[in-house]
Chain A
Amino acid sequence: GDSVTQTEGQVALSEEDFLTIHCNYSASGYPALFWYVQYPGEGPQFLFRASRDKEKGSSRGFEATYDKGTTSFHLRKASVQESDSAVYYCALGDDGEGADRLTFGKGTQLIIQP
């Protein structure tokens, strides 16, 4: 079945550091790819999506490029802020029977030290 692998369980950085969170996927079809962010006490919030090879999704300074060749959708940000501290989830969407069923990775806890 479909799966999403996030390599890092936790990433600790200082403000203004460059961020990379790795995401690789395995799917039989041509899925849409997503990044979600979750703050304490809240549900995951949609960050952005990409639906085809080489498409770049972006929001709030975060970006990721759909790479079908390497089956990756790595999250990057040039300069992180303390407010970016949260859990980040990579997910893929399978349109299935008429509504997206999302398959999530395990999440990466991002800790930004001031």
Chain B
Amino acid sequence: GPKVLQIPSHQIIDMGQMVTLNCDPVSNHLYFYWYKQILGQQMEFLVNFYNGKVMEKSKLFKDQFSVERPDGSYFTLKIQPTALEDSAVYFCASSLDWGGANAEQFFGPGTRLTVL
């Protein structure tokens, strides 16, 4: 089936540094999402993105977070600067449509971010 890829699979950085998480969504999908899962807790919505714009974001999407998809390439999540509480697995997802039969979200395998 359709695949979402995430690069890297694991990233270790020092607190205060910048990190960019990369997502290669399903090729014809138009809607993109980031979710965050802290170890032992449930996956939580961060942000969704369509047509070059953030449509909706949660309170977890701090000012230090930003997303973009320049020229149809990777959909990225940037954190600058990072904090200890940003340590988590970040899942990217994409969907063809929203709110209907084609709204199924396809998830990547996640990037495990460790902030030291």
Q: A-side interface residues toward B, CB under 8 Å? A: 4, 32, 36, 41-46, 49, 89, 93, 95-107
Residue of B nearest to A91 (CB): B43
| Complex alpha-carbon distance, A107 and B37, angstroms | 12
Pick from A42, A46, A89, A103: contact of B45, CB under 8 Å:
A103
Residue in B31, B58, B98 with the greatest tally of chain A CB atoms within 10 Å: B98
| Complex alpha-carbon distance, A105 and B35, angstroms | 13
User: With A97-B55, A99-B95 known to touch, is A46 a contact of B44 (CB < 8 Å)?
Assistant: no
| Complex alpha-carbon distance, A89 and B37, angstroms | 13
Chain A residues lying within 8 Å of B75, measured Cβ to Cβ, are: none
B93 to A: closest C-beta gap in Å: 7
CB atoms of A104 and B48 under 8 A apart: no
B103 to A: closest C-beta gap in Å: 6
User: With A43-B4, A97-B55 known to touch, is A102 a contact of B41 (CB < 8 Å)?
Assistant: no
CB atoms of B98 and A98 under 8 A apart: yes
Chain A residues lying within 8 Å of B103, measured Cβ to Cβ, are: 32, 93, 100
CB atoms of A43 and B109 under 8 A apart: yes
Residue of B nearest to A42 (CB): B109
Chain B residues lying within 8 Å of A4, measured Cβ to Cβ, are: 42
A65 to B: closest C-beta gap in Å: 19
Pick from B33, B42, B107: contact of A45, CB under 8 Å:
B107
CB atoms of B105 and A46 under 8 A apart: yes
Q: Is B14 an interface residue (CB 8 A)?
A: no
| Complex alpha-carbon distance, A12 and B93, angstroms | 30
CB atoms of A43 and B108 under 8 A apart: yes
A-B contact pairs, 23 of them (CB 8 A): A41-B109, A42-B109, A43-B93, A43-B107, A43-B110, A46-B104, A93-B103, A95-B98, A95-B99, A98-B99, A99-B48, A99-B98, A100-B105, A101-B48, A101-B56, A101-B58, A102-B35, A102-B45, A103-B45, A104-B42, A104-B44, A106-B41, A107-B42
| Complex alpha-carbon distance, A101 and B50, angstroms | 13
Pick from B55, B93, B106, B110: contact of A98, CB under 8 Å:
B55
Residue of A nearest to B49 (CB): A99
CB atoms of A97 and B42 under 8 A apart: no
